[in-house]
Structure 1
Amino acid sequence: MYGIVFSEKVVLSYFPQHFILASLNSTGQGHQGRFAELVIVLIVLLLVATGVALLSRQFRLPYVTGLVLAGLAIAEFLPRRVGLDSSLILNLFLPILLFESAINTDISRLRSTIKPILLLAGPGVAIAAGVTSLLLKLGLGLGWIPALLIGTILAITDTVSVIAVFKEVSVPSRLSTIVEGESLFNDGVALVLFSLILKVHSTGSITFLEGLQDLFVVIVGGSLVGLALGYLSVGLFVRLDDPLSSILLTVAVALGTFQIGQVVGVSGVVAVVVAGLIVGNFGLSGSVSASSRITLFSFWEYAGFGVNTFIFLLIGIEIDLITLWQTLPGVLLAILAYQVGRFVSVYPLLAGVHLFDRPVPLRWQHVLFLGNIKGSLSMALAFSLPSTIPGRESLIALVFGSVLLSLVGQGLSLPWLVRRLQLVRFSEFRQQTEELQAQLMTAKAAQDELDSLLKAGVLPKSVYEEMRSSYQVKVAAAEKALRDLYNRRPEELAATNKDLIKFDAIRRRLLLAEKGALNEALRKRILSEEIVQSRIQTIDEQLLKLEDD
């Protein structure tokens, strides 16, 4: 065993005295001069981010990895007063990222993959944190409390890089949903575990029953807060139906839900996720005009992109390469430890999924294992470690180095891995089918919008009929072509790789709709429980037989 020992000079060179674009030194300049300096720094960062975006597209590199490398390159040319601040990340950046992911998540798809998601985000996080903590204690000679804190910090996965890879390389939609779903919930579980460990540190001890009780209250309480504020905002969306006002409302819901959750002592992360799911799936439903929905989703896409851009640039700026080299042995051991923890939490847990849900293919498990890239939340939690933790500065250095090597090493290798695994093979038949589906869906969406404009009195009926008929021609053509494809002889279909043409995604949605209707009938006492459970068992068996999409 050996401990991590760093000189005071090394620690101070690694961490600037002030963090996040704030605390600009007031000596020698007034407020106006400090603000001008801040604006110049922001402009430089925006220009650097633009250049990284262009180069990443040209050389097919992950955008976030490019940002971190760019931050390393420009660190010496910017004031050392620019850096990361845990409070800003936790109270502003994190709610924005969580809300943006939640409103873009389809509850029906999330529900169809909820079992593997809960396995990875619940027991998976706990197992990964425990294994990582044990290896860090044995390998670096850490105390139990510091080891558990770092193990929990390194158990968090930042899926921004993974999702960016999925946008470049096609993967099955179920795999993408599992990755996104895990990222929505594992942050909350890790934060709850982190707070429980800090409670043990401050109080001296906590019983297992008290820990479970706190865990239950924090997670369930966060869910209730998110449900209440989410459904409260749904009614406001219907009455507003104004894109600019709706944007303000969504920002207030995202940030306000997190703060209210923190104030009442429950998980603000869980509250934001639940509120975002409610707003995205019910508040922005068909009752809100298409133009308002497009404006809102575009705003949140830009907000998430902007926040990630600044976070990953600042990660690169924050890290000192000289200090990283001096701490490299400990960092490499930490990376090995969290990789072992992720291995133990992914493969054994998902190996038994076939007993109660559709199995997760082994090739998908490889992506889930190597996609455990670390990011901003790990760094924010490292910053938030209290000063009473032994060797706090050394622990922060450990996390910083692990995040950097994870973003660069795993971020660069993941696209290559996903391509080599060949998770999706597009046939000519599937391409034709999806093009016709796109034509059918867009034409029908335009017709629905025309109906609402006619009902609102925006269009005269003669203009409405003329425009609607033009879309009807597209609908009829797409439906005829699709019908011809569906009616092809079975031997013709067999030659096109049948697992790609069974349209199991549509069948799965229909079966889930049937299951929902049965549960609603049982709740209203329309059908007996015996009949309902028998039908639900049949539907579950049909769901398990469907191919992964």
Structure 2
Amino acid sequence: MQQPSLGSNPATNSQTAGNVPELVIILIILLLLATAVALITQRLRIPYVTGLVLAGLPITEILSRQIGLDPSLVLNLFLPILIFEAAINTDISRLRSTFKPIALLAGPGSIFSSAIIAVLVKFGLGLPWVPAFLIGVILANTDTVSMIAVFKEIRVPSRLSTIVEGETLFNDAAALVLFNLVLVVYATGSLTVFEGVKELLVVALGGAIVGGILGYLSLPIFVRLNDPLSSLLLTVALALGTFQIGQFLGVSGAVAVVITGLIFGNLGLAHSSSASDRITLLSFWEYAGFGVNTFIFLLIGIEINPATLWNVLPSILLVILAYQLGRILSVYPLLAGLRWFDRAIPLRWQHVLFLGNIKGSLSMALALSIPLTMPGRDTIIALVFGAVLFSLVGQGLSLPWLVKRLQISKVSEVMQETGQLQIQLIASKAAQDELDSLLRSGVLPKAVYEELWASYQARIAQSEKVLRDLYNRHRAGQLEGDRKGLDAIRRRLLLAEKGAVSDALRKRIVPEDLVQPYIKELDEKLLTLEDD
């Protein structure tokens, strides 16, 4: 039996080694280009990701043959990194308080929008049903990166920001599940409604179970790791491994990564022994997400060929109209009915949710992942690429303008002062906690500890005094219209009460007939608070 030998193909190895310097040069060019884009977008005050796409367009002919947007790379490497980074920075308590609008938009809203787009594309362009539904699913997806990037530059109410982040986070997972379901229909030729619903539930719930198990299994390992660099390795393995395990088991890897990231970010990081370790880990993931975004959107610009899109421009315009109409008919009617069982979403916010329907890397990766045997594959890719280009440039540039125009980000002087005082309180109390830890570990002498602790206590006392004065003025009616800062605190407290009582009910500590009226009273109080 012939034994395999290392380096058995010298020609292949030599060719690979010869390509490395060329790839390094291309990488350097892209990094320098991204740096220039960052400087220009900061000066012009336009979204960074939009600038990256526009910068990539002129160099399409130069680099597109040497590098490309590999869908396998995006789905198996880039996507898990982006989802995990977003998930670990998402507060579950905030997510829980906005779960109903998020579930409406990412669930029924996504399916309804996909169906509307598919019908319009089917009858408008004469495409078969399967390609039409593929376009619908691909373009019903909202890009996580683009929306969060805009909201990082412009302050918006935290409830609106949470709804957008939560929808885009779960929308990625929903798009992958629906996309695979349409491919099943293409492969088998038919699928009943019952089988489709069953497949969706198995894939989505299976992904949630896998993510929950892996997330909880990682917690005791993370707690025992005192080295921040080892913790980084664990999180990278967790993000990429969770996605691969989910895919291997036939469930949604994206859903699994979302759940794992939420568990790790809300339970794992809270038990980190050192604040510096938490900062190191979060900083790493922020840089990883930023780096992945940079390369993805540059590659999107390089991948798109304007000359090719020009040839099918009328069809692209119809597709753009279709996905915008799908978004309109899924956002406004669904959120109009939300007032019957949750706090209403202001109409101005709904305008932002409509225009914020920006497409991005996942849409392009899904389009490139369509099987080569599917008729009209090249047409589908061209239509999706054209819609993505319009979305990133047109909507990406107009969204910040719309947010400012609607005065959603308007903040009063009192709210500004309250926010600064809250930051001082949070920072000072965190520093005191770290001092306590250093004293217990023997690193800090007690005399030094007492001096530093007292200096922070003075800052806390001053901040609390000013906040108390603001609160008393508010109660006296002197600050009419500046309730939002205090209402945000009240909401956190009421949600904490609701969570504690619900936990007590699950553990059978208190009777249900007493709990339900109390929870109803808490819900009524929550509905009276202004949106933060």
Provide the TM-score with structure 2 as the length reference. 0.96
Conservation of the 8 A alpha-carbon contact between 2:117 and 2:322: yes
Are positions 1:524 and 2:507 aligned together? Answer: yes
Q: Cα distance 1:252–1:27, how it changes in 2: closer, same or farther (>3 A)?
A: closer
- In the other structure, the counterpart of 1:294 is 279
Per the TM alignment, residue 319 of structure 1 is displaced from its structure 2 partner at its CA by 1.0
CA deviation string 1:213-258 (max 9, x = no partner) = 1111111111111111111111112111321111111001100000
SS at match of 2:143: coil
* Separation in structure 1 between the aligned mates of residue 490 and residue 471 of structure 2, nearest angstrom: 14
Would the aligned equivalents of 2:60 and 2:303 in 1 still touch at CA under 8 Å?
A: yes
Partner Cα separation in structure 2 for residue 430 and residue 466 of structure 1: 32
Paired AA for residue 544 in structure 1: L
Q: Does 1:434 align with 2:402?
A: no
Deviates most, 443-452 or 188-197: 188-197
**Which AA in structure 1 matches 2:513?**
E
Structure 2: distance between partners of 1:56 and 1:325: 26
From 32, 36, 58, the equivalent of 1:51 is 36
Q: How does 1:378-397 map to 2 (within 5 A)?
A: 378-397=363-382
Aligned twin of 1:276: 261
Query: Does residue 212 of structure 2 align to residue 198 of structure 1?
Result: no
- Residue 15 of structure 1 is matched in structure 2 by none
Number of paired residues?
522
The residue aligned with 1:135 is 120
Distance 1:79 1:29, change over 3 A: farther
SS at match of 2:366: helix
2: CA distance between counterparts of 1:73 and 1:36?
23
Match of 2:453 among 468, 492, 495: 468
Paired residue for 1:486, among 471, 491, 494? Answer: 471
- Which residue in 2 is equivalent to 1:4? none
Gaps of 5+ in 2: 1-10
Task: Give the AA of the match of 2:131.
Answer: P
Amino acid at match of 1:45: L
Correspondence 1:85-96 to 2 at 5 A: 85-96=70-81
How big is the shift at 1:490? 4.6
CA distance in 2, matches of 1:328, 1:489: 57
Whether 1:544 aligns to 2:527 is yes
- Summarize deviations over 1:161-209 as a string: whole Å, max 9, x none: 2222222222111000000000111111121111111111111111111
Change in Cα spacing, 1:463 to 1:397, as seen in structure 2 (3 Å) is same
1:83 aligns with 2:68: yes
Q: 1:482 to 1:286 in 2, by over 3 A?
A: farther
Q: Who is 2:483 aligned against?
A: 499
Q: How high is the sequence identity, in percent, across the aligned residues?
A: 68
**Paired position in structure 1 for 2:334:** 349
Find the counterpart in structure 1 of residue 214 from structure 2: 229
Instruction: Letter of the 1:516 partner, please give it.
Output: G
CA distance in 2, matches of 1:306, 1:227: 27
The question of whether the paired residues in 1 share the 8 Å contact of 2:272 and 2:278 is answered with no
CA distance in 2, matches of 1:250, 1:389: 38
- 1:238-292 CA-to-partner distances (Å, cap 9, x unmatched) read 1113211111110011000000000111100000000000000000004431001
Distance 1:208 1:287 in 2: 46
Shift of 1:298: 0.4
For 2:474 and 2:489, the matched residues in 1 are separated by 21
Match of residue 46 from structure 2: 61
Counterpart amino acid of 1:144? W
Q: Which runs of 5+ in 1 are unaligned?
A: 1-25
Q: TM-score, with normalisation over the residues of structure 1? A: 0.93
Correspondence 1:205-216 to 2 at 5 A = 205-216=190-201
The 10-residue stretch of structure 1 (380-389 or 85-94) with the greater mean CA deviation from structure 2: 380-389
| Residue 515 (structure 1) aligned to one of 489, 495, 498 | 498
- 2:202 is aligned to 217
Once the two structures are TM-superposed, the CA of residue 466 in structure 1 deviates from its matched residue by: 1.6
Q: Aligned partners of 1:288, 1:77: CA distance in 2, in Å?
A: 50
CA distance in 1, matches of 2:226, 2:512: 41
Specify which of 86, 93, 103 is matched with residue 118 of structure 1.
103
Opposite residue 498 of structure 1, the aligned amino acid is D
Q: Distance in 2 between matches of 1:147 and 1:357?
A: 34
For 2:483, what is the secondary structure of its paired residue?
helix
Amino acid at match of 1:532: V
Q: What do the CA deviations read for 1:340-365 (whole angstroms, capped 9, x no partner)? A: 00111100000011110000000000
What does residue 182 of structure 1 align with?
167
After TM superposition, the structure 1 stretch with the greater mean CA deviation from structure 2, 46-55 or 404-413, is 404-413
Distance 1:288 1:241 in 2: 8
Cα drift, residue 423 of structure 1: 0.7
Moved over 4 A (4+): 26-29, 489-492
Q: Give 1:499 shift.
A: 3.4
Q: 1:148 Cα shift? A: 0.5
The 3-state SS of whatever aligns with 1:511 is helix
2:319 counterpart residue number: 334
Partner of 2:6: none
One-letter identity of the residue aligned with 2:344? P
TM-aligned CA deviation for residue 414 of structure 1: 0.9
Moved more, 155-164 or 536-545: 155-164
Contact kept in structure 1, 2:139 and 2:323, CA below 8 Å: yes
- Which has the larger displacement, 413-422 or 515-524? 515-524
Q: Which amino acid in structure 1 is aligned with residue 509 of structure 2?
A: I
Q: How far apart are the structure 2 equivalents of 1:516 and 1:447?
A: 28
2:90 corresponds, among 105, 116, 130, to: 105
Contact 1:89–1:380 (8 Å) recurs in 2? yes
Alpha-carbon contact 1:237-1:288 (below 8 Å) kept: no
CA distance in 2 between counterparts of 1:100 and 1:372 reads 21
Residues 139 and 411 of structure 1: CA distance in aligned 2, closer, same or farther (over 3 Å): same
Report if aligned partners of 2:327, 2:357 keep a CA contact under 8 Å in 1: yes
Partner SS state of residue 351, structure 1: helix
**8 Å contact kept, 2:88–2:266:** yes
How far apart in 2 are the matches of 1:382 and 1:79? 17
One of 376, 386, 394 as aligned partner of 2:361: 376
Q: Which residue of 1 aligns with 2:441?
A: 456
The Cα of 1:425 is off from its aligned counterpart by 2.2
C-alpha RMSD of matched pairs (Å): 1.5
CA shift digits 1:97-148 (9 cap, x unpaired): 0000000000000000000000000000000000000000011000001101
CA contact 1:159–1:372 (8 Å) conserved in 2: no
Residue number in structure 1 paired with 2:225: 240
Question: Residues 303-314 of structure 1: matches in 2 within 5 Å?
Answer: 303-314=288-299
Post-superposition shift, 1:32? 2.6
Contact 1:159 1:371 in 2 (8 A): no
